[in-house]
């Protein structure tokens, strides 16, 4: 079958939109992993997680500026900035768990949830206070090139980075959870925290480790996004965090492959709304509404999410 030029162009446009959608979808997936792991272990929705994504972007910004990578783009600079901001975010994530969530963990789940909301606002406005709300531009750490895939569909270095780095991180996470001792402990705690404790697992450590892991992934998302869309500001984590949360629920909260699937789906769905919504009378600015409409649908039709299993709540 041969396509005429008009069809070819439509096809190119469609493929381009899918690439655009999967780019932001990968970011949502990275953040969604943190939501889903913490939920899997503590049954807590960590609302401050979206802000950790922002903290990661700012940490990368400070590092790149302080170490001079902003002026001389290099692969080394990018890796140092990425790992550095992941480390800083992991430390902050652990500190939040240690000083905000652990003291209230013994009370009802609602108490921890409210604490998480408070924590989120605290981080946001602390950053507004320190850095002011003005958008800052994140330096380009690697020279940005564009590659033509075929026809008109192009992909930029920053998009390739997002795909490659997030894929590597997801494989790494899979390895930790299923191949290592700490991963086994995480699964045990997620299965039943009290039994795990009786088996001699240091649950406090496992929980802290989970927060560190999730926060590092979110920070990686922050640095990667900032390479793609260099505007960073203290409230950037709110909407992105919410959408990542929707992604986690969509995939089945507590389920790691589900979070990745959910992230990619939300990213693709909202880009398709921007690209093709106008044909069916949906303006492009409804992209945010789509994520939440999907959430409502999933909760109605399949409350456990796409890959989630129904867990009987113990009474």
Partner 1 sequence: MKKFCVSLLLLSIFLSSCVQKNGTAINNNNGNTIKIGLFADLTGQTSAFGQSSKNGAQLAVDEINATGGVVGKKLEIVIEDDQGRPEQAKTVVSKLINQDKVQVILGEAASTNSLAAAPVAQEAKIPMVTHASTNEQVTQVGNYIFRICFIDSFQGSVMAKFAANNLKAKTAAIIGDVNSTYSKGLTEVFEKEFTNLGGKIVSKQSYTQNDPDFKGQLTTVRALNPDVIYIPGYYGQVGIIAKQARELGMTMPLLGGDGWDAPEIWKLGGEGLKNTFISNHYAADNPAPEVQNFVKSYKEKYGVQPDSMAVLAYDAVKLLADAVKRAGGANSEKLRDAIAQTKDFAAVTGKISINEKRDAVKLAVVLELDPSKSAYLYKETIYPNQ
- Binding residues for partner 1 (CB under 8 A): 9-10, 12-13, 16-17, 20-21, 23-24, 27, 128, 132-137, 140, 144, 146, 148, 152, 154, 156, 225, 228-231, 233, 236, 238-240, 270-271, 273-275, 278, 283-285, 287-288
Nearer to partner 1, 272 or 304 (CB): 272
| CA 311 vs CA 81, 112, 115, 252, 303: distances in Å | 40, 21, 25, 11, 11
CB 149 to partner 1: min, Å: 12
CB 231 to partner 1: min, Å: 6
On whether the CB atoms of residues 50 and 28 are closer than 8 A, the answer is no
Nearer to partner 1, 20 or 115 (CB): 20
Nearer to partner 1, 74 or 146 (CB): 146
CB 300 to partner 1: min, Å: 27
On whether the CB atoms of residues 304 and 314 are closer than 8 A, the answer is no
DSSP line for 90-124: HHHHHHHIIIIIGGGTTS-HHHHHHHHHHHHHHHH
On whether the CB atoms of residues 134 and 233 are closer than 8 A, the answer is yes
CB 37 to partner 1: min, Å: 23
Nearer to partner 1, 194 or 279 (CB): 279
Nearer to partner 1, 58 or 211 (CB): 58
């Amino acid at each position: 079958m041969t396509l005429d030029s008009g069809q070819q162009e439509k096809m190119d446009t469609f493929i381009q939109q899918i690439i655009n959608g999967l780019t932001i979808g990968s970011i949502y997936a990275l953040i969604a992993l943190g939501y889903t792991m913490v939920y899997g272990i503590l049954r807590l929705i960590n609302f401050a997680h979206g802000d950790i994504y922002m903290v990661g972007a700012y940490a990368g910004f400070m590092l790149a500026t302080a170490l001079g990578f902003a002026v001389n783009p290099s692969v080394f600079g990018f890796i140092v900035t990425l790992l550095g901001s992941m480390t800083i975010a992991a430390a902050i994530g652990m500190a939040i768990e240690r000083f905000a969530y652990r003291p209230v963990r013994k009370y009802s789940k609602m108490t921890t949830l409210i604490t998480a909301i408070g924590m989120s606002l605290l981080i946001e406005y602390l950053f507004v206070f320190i850095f002011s709300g003005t958008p800052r531009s994140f330096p380009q750490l690697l020279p940005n090139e564009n590659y033509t895939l075929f026809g008109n569909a192009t992909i930029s270095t920053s998009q390739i980075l997002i795909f490659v780095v997030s894929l590597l991180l997801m494989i790494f996470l899979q390895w930790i959870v299923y191949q290592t001792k700490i991963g086994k402990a995480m699964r045990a705690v997620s299965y039943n925290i009290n039994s795990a404790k009786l088996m001699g697992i240091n649950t406090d450590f496992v929980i802290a480790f989970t927060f560190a892991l999730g926060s590092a992934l979110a920070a990686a998302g922050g640095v990667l996004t900032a390479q793609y869309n260099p505007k960073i500001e203290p409230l950037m984590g709110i909407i992105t965090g919410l959408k990542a949360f929707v992604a986690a629920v969509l995939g089945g909260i507590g389920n790691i492959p589900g979070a990745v699937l959910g992230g990619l789906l939300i990213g693709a769905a909202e880009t398709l709304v921007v690209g093709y919504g106008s044909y069916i009378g949906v303006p492009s600015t409804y992209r945010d509404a789509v994520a939440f409409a999907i959430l409502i649908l999933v909760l109605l039709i399949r409350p456990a999410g796409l890959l989630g299993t129904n867990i009987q709540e113990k009474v």
